[in-house]
Amino acid sequence: MNGFLNILKPPGMSSAAVVASIKRITGEKVGHAGTLDPEAAGVLPVMIGRAGRLLDYLPDERKIYVAEIAFSGETDTQDAQGKIIEPGRGCPDEEQFRQVLPFFTGDIEQIPPAYSALKVNGVPMYRAARRGESISKPPRAVHIYGIGYQGKISDDNFLIRVECSRGTYIRTLCRDIGEKLGKPAHMRFLLRTLSAGFRIEDSVTLEETDTPEKIANSLIPMEDAVMHLPAFDTDPSMEKQARNGVALETGLFDEGEFVRVRLKGHFLGIAQKTESALKFRAVCVSHEEKLAE
């Protein structure tokens, strides 16, 4: 079994637990393309079998989240699971809140939260934080394509839609918005609606994938996840070389460009143009797999 599942991860479950569940059912090698915090919900792309070879070639330049920001205080984890370290000082009015959002669009720098999986000197920051240790947190450059105001949902909560680059911490964004307004805040809830090209409207629940048959029915073909890359149809006479990942001589593409290599209408894998040849980076068919004419 090889392909992707677009899983709608529920809150209260880790990404690793989702992977373990799918692995237990399929008996295949399983991974995911982008961690979601346990309390967050939404799109979790899961890779089964040889689909894991495509991780580095997924369209991962943009992610979309819907987040609830609460002005009831700042927490040590920057979300609702942490302890209040600075009490709230009231909620801004809607106009104040909307006016501050443009300050956080474009290229910005974020200091990652202490409770994150980011490693500093080989040590995950959350482990050091749990031991009460203070680790230097270097700023990270991220890009916010846009922040859309979605409305006020309670006395001290606003809803926002964030379109951002990979590596953006939405809880840090919520905390920083509060700091800019002079009103301590944290992220109360997070929903990811787009990741690696997978959209929430096309996702399936764990209940819908709790048997091998259900997984097979929901499985997304490997090539479907990399359709953003141009295709290169190799000549049938080069099938042996292609199956074995041998470079294919061609001069059709700009150097450095990644392409989907196809043979007889079937997806073989990903290759990169180097000088006068296509060099395979990921072969997604086995030597034994028969390609139908």
Domains of the chain, residue spans: 3-56+202-221, 63-195, 229-283
Task: Pick the catalytic residue from 37, 79, 156, 176.
Answer: 37
Query: What is the residue whose two structure tokens read 């797999």?
Result: 289
Contact between residue 222 and residue 50 where contact means Cβ atoms under 8 Å apart: yes
Instruction: Say which CATH architecture domain 229-283 belongs to.
Output: Roll (2.30)
- Can 93 be counted among the known catalytic residues? no
**Dihedral angle of Cα 243, 246, 249, 254, to the nearest 10 degrees:** 90
Give the predicted TM-score (pTM) of the model.
Answer: 0.87
- Classified by CATH at the fold level, domain 63-195 comes out as Pseudouridine synthase (3.30.2350)
Q: Longest C-alpha distance within the chain, in Å?
A: 71
CA-angle at 3, arms to 201 and 13, nearest 5°: 60
Report pLDDT for 209.
96
pLDDT of the chain along its 293 residues, tens only? 999 999 999 999 999 999 999 999 999 999 999 889 899 999 999 999 999 999 999 998 899 999 999 999 999 999 999 999 999 999 999 999 999 999 999 999 998 776 666 666 566 556 655 666 666 677 889 999 999 999 999 888 999 999 999 989 999 999 999 999 999 999 999 999 999 999 999 999 999 999 999 999 999 999 999 999 999 888 777 778 777 778 877 665 566 689 999 988 889 999 988 777 888 888 888 655 665 55
- Report how far residue 22's alpha carbon sits from residue 269's, in angstroms, rounded to the nearest whole number: 24
pLDDT at residue 129 in the model: 55
* Contact (CB, 8 A) for 92 and 181: yes
Bridging pattern class, strands 186-195 and 41-48: parallel
Spatial separation of the C-alpha atoms in residues 54 and 4, rounded to whole Å: 10
